[in-house]
Amino acid sequence: MKVMTTNPAPVDRAHEAHATFPGTSEALRLVARTIAIAARGESPSALIDLLPRTAPLAWVRRGEGIVGWGEVARFESTGADRFDRAIDSWNQVREHAIIRDEVGLPGTGPVAFGTFGFSEATSRPSVLIVPRVVVGRRGDTWWLTTITTSDEPFASQPDLDDVVAGLEPVTSPGHVDYAPGSCSPGQWMDVVAHGIDLIKAGELDKIVLARDEIGTAAQPIDVRHLLGNLARSYENCWTFAVDTMVGATPELLVRTERGLVTSRVLAGTIQRTGDDETDTARAAVLAHSSKDLEEHEYAVRSVADALRPYCSSLNVPEAPFVLHLPNVLHLASDVAAVVDAAAGATSLSLAKALHPTAAVCGTPTREAAQAILTLEGMDRSRYAGPVGWLGADGDGEWGIGLRSAELMASDPHSIRLFAGCGIVAASDPAAEYAETLAKLRPMHTALADNAHSAG
């Protein structure tokens, strides 16, 4: 684990783990103060409207959540033990933190935003980022947290009116051209066909296969443009920005709050038409589709099996409900549990235990993960990996990085978009490709000039 106190340049990352300032042997000690502040508005994007252009951090749903900027420290890790090193480093930091929290809600006090690689084989590092400033909202309560280190001068709380007045205006990327990423549409449908063959041969029960495409914008891409559009158009999703990852995920991998655990499982999808009557009929078809119900059952079972060792009780719905999003309909199940106090689990350790679920990998997990590496022909990077935040008490929220894209550090005009589908024996490659088009729509819409339409 590497710990940095400034934004790093690209380096050849080793696998050492430590929780110290570079060049010292002293543990990183955070100093955090949280105070209540006046409400900043009711808009779904009210929090996002506070963000600077450079390296914004966000986790927002229905106008609630947290945003941050600045960087006190960055923890990076790669490889099979990337979660363990992040957990160990954050545990050391939170044990030494000096905290004055006058609000006492989830997301107050020191927090770290994180995004993790889907596979241990990815070349992209998983990161936890501790911001210098966090603004949060829950219900009618708003708060402001400033975070420094013990060897820095005391930082006074910034005036948010001054912050907003000094922000650069949000800019549009202008026209965006899209091109295939790692493979052409025809090649990807061949990949799906190979996945179906593996299932029919009895080697897998289910596999999730993804593809990417590259967007090239006329103007440099302003992340805030995407975030504002996603927050307004997809209020039921968790809009996020961490490091180079940005998106609006409909799938909550895990939330922990004072001993309670929640996980929203999505698997089984059908496109919306935009006509309410037709979409109601399509929802009924989805709810009774044997192919989609089979896919969903694998996903729910994988989540329940992963949570069970850490929980004293577990509630798994008998049947899914249909989640209506602007672009698609999903089969969804909300799994709830109570943490076993003896297990000592945190939100991030549960995210580690759950990842990858059958909803983004397949069944059996190990075999599906290996088949993904063999068949997809691309590095997923942090697509479909855990993304979210955790606090000093270990509670937090982690989504699955879906409906997402990765900004290209080498070119501010370029962005890499992702979409994937669950494949079972009854899948059809052409239909699965059409599903990826629907799942790419949120990011296409977010990049567009007419940003307020869900498309």
Task: List, by residue number, the catalytic residues.
Answer: 206, 251
Radius of gyration of the chain (CA): 21
Phi, psi (rounded to 5 degrees) for 412: -65, -10
CB-CB neighbours of 452 under 10 Å: 10
302 — alpha (psi -120 to 50), left (phi > 0) or beta?
Answer: alpha
Burial class of residue 379 in the structure, from the number of CB atoms within 10 Å of its CB (0-12 exposed, 13-18 middle, 19+ buried): middle
Cis-peptide into 173, omega within 30 deg:
no
* Contact status, residue 185 vs residue 433, Cβ threshold 8 Å: yes
Q: Which residues pair with 399 in a beta bridge?
A: 252, 387
Q: Residue 114: CB partners within 8 Å, gap ≥ 6?
A: 86, 126, 127, 128, 129, 242, 348, 386, 387, 388, 389, 390, 398
Q: Are 256 and 396 in contact (CB under 8 A)?
A: yes
Closest CA to 209 of 404, 442, 440, 429: 429
Residue 431's H or E segment, with its range, is helix 429-447
Cβ pair 77, 126 in contact under 8 A = yes
